[in-house]
Amino acid sequence: MSIEITQVGKKFGDFTALENINLTIPDGEITALLGPSGSGKTTLLRIIAGLETPDTGTISLFGEDSTWKQTKDRKVGFVFQHYALFKHMSVFENVAFGLRIRPRRLRPDKAEIRRKVFSLLSLVQLESMANRLPGELSGGQKQRVALARALAIEPKVLLLDEPFGALDAKVRQELRRWLRFLHDEIHITSVFVTHDQEEALEVSDNIVILNKGKIEQIGAPEDVYDHPANPFVYGFLGNVNLFHARLDKGVLNLNHAEGGAEVSFFVRPQDVVISLSNENGKGVEAKITGHRILGSRVRVNLKTIAGEKEIEADIDKKQWALIEKENRETIYILFFGAKIYSKDETWSDYAI
């Protein structure tokens, strides 16, 4: 295994950034460190790079204890959120930097450096920009140069700190698809930090979800999305309706009446189905309190008649048109794929 993190802890003054982190990063895959700000994800990445030292625990890179090894000797490629390109150097010089500063006996000759830099620039599709200064590039181009520069030293691991964070929405979309594509070509072990769950789900092979300096869950994207370990993970990986209810012999009781066990009830807005009739008798009576059209989807705000719970549904525009035409006082809602988190901290699926 390429990176092994054992019992790592880090404090900044009174603030605990990381606590007892144990993590193995698999070879040749993209791992996302996902979490809200202040969850310690960037600190963990910087500890792997040697830009920060852990207070406790060890980091081993490719079977070698590297906890106290200097950054320059770790052979890690690092891509910064704000690019950190050298402003006074051309694109070519930026990418060549890591090769040119090597001690003489390890330094490739000029022709070799040139060949290598241009092959990397072609990989990031920026050959024509070799003589430009970073100030003359767009954000997306800058980040591609930063990536080429990081790859020039032939790192064993590529670390990316919110690499798309400073880009606008469209460029970000493009660049993360491109990063996935690039990785399928070169298969370098990569770790990237993000607070954007969509980005993590789209780009990575593995997701590590962090919160308040601790790991909440590790798994493949579909794993963590479909089988969240706890309410935090569920809530963080997308919008969610959460309310407390009672469960009596498999029947959801929204009233706070007695009987049954009290549970937390989770359902994603896209798993809320609005129905005009109550055919199987399992629908919950509700009324529509508002809606907002978001392009091709419609977000509908509902309130249950019993218990007055606010629920958000995310439905198709065509379906919304039908519902709107009928203009019923009361409609029925059904929950597909809802999750129940009971007091004893176990998950179960709610089946209709």
Partner 1 sequence: MNTPAIIKEPRWIKPALIGAALIFLAVFIFIPLVTIFSQALGSGFRAYSRAFSEPDIFASIRLTLLTALICVPVNTVFGVILAWVITKFNFRGKRILITLIEVPFAISPVIAGLLFIFLFGSFGWFGSWLMAHNIKIVFAAPGIVIATAFVTFPFVARELIPLMEELGKDDEEAALTLGANGLQTFFKITLPNIKWGLLYGVVLTNARAMGEFGAVAVVSGVIRGLTTTMPLYIEILYNEYQFNTAFAVASLLTLLALVTLIVKTVVEHFIAEQRKQKLV
Binding positions for partner 1, rule: CB under 8 A = 49-51, 70-78, 80, 82, 84-88, 97-98, 101-102, 133, 135-136, 146, 149-150, 152-153
Residue type, 124: V
**Whole-number minimum distance, CB 89 to partner 1, in Å?**
8
**Whole-number minimum distance, CB 68 to partner 1, in Å?**
15
**Nearest CB to partner 1, comparing residues 96 and 298:** 96
Contact 212, 38 (CB under 8 A): yes
- Cα 201 from Cα 190, distance rounded (Å): 15
**Nearest CB to partner 1, comparing residues 88 and 244:** 88
**Nearest CB to partner 1, comparing residues 103 and 295:** 103
**Whole-number minimum distance, CB 95 to partner 1, in Å?**
10
Q: What is the DSSP string of 22-50?
A: EEEEPTTSEEEEE--TTSSHHHHHHHHHT
**Nearest CB to partner 1, comparing residues 76 and 323:** 76
Catalogue the E-assigned strands of 92-195. Answer: 157-161, 189-194
**Nearest CB to partner 1, comparing residues 150 and 334:** 150
Q: To which residue do tokens 């508002």 refer?
A: 290
**Whole-number minimum distance, CB 300 to partner 1, in Å?**
44
Q: How many residues does the chain have?
A: 352
Contact 34, 220 (CB under 8 A): no
**Nearest CB to partner 1, comparing residues 161 and 199:** 161
List own/partner pairs for 122-128 with CB under 8 A and 24 or more apart: 123/148, 123/151, 123/182, 124/148, 126/91
**Whole-number minimum distance, CB 71 to partner 1, in Å?**
4
**Whole-number minimum distance, CB 192 to partner 1, in Å?**
15
Looking at residue 128, the DSSP 8-state letter turns out to be: G
Contact 41, 52 (CB under 8 A): no
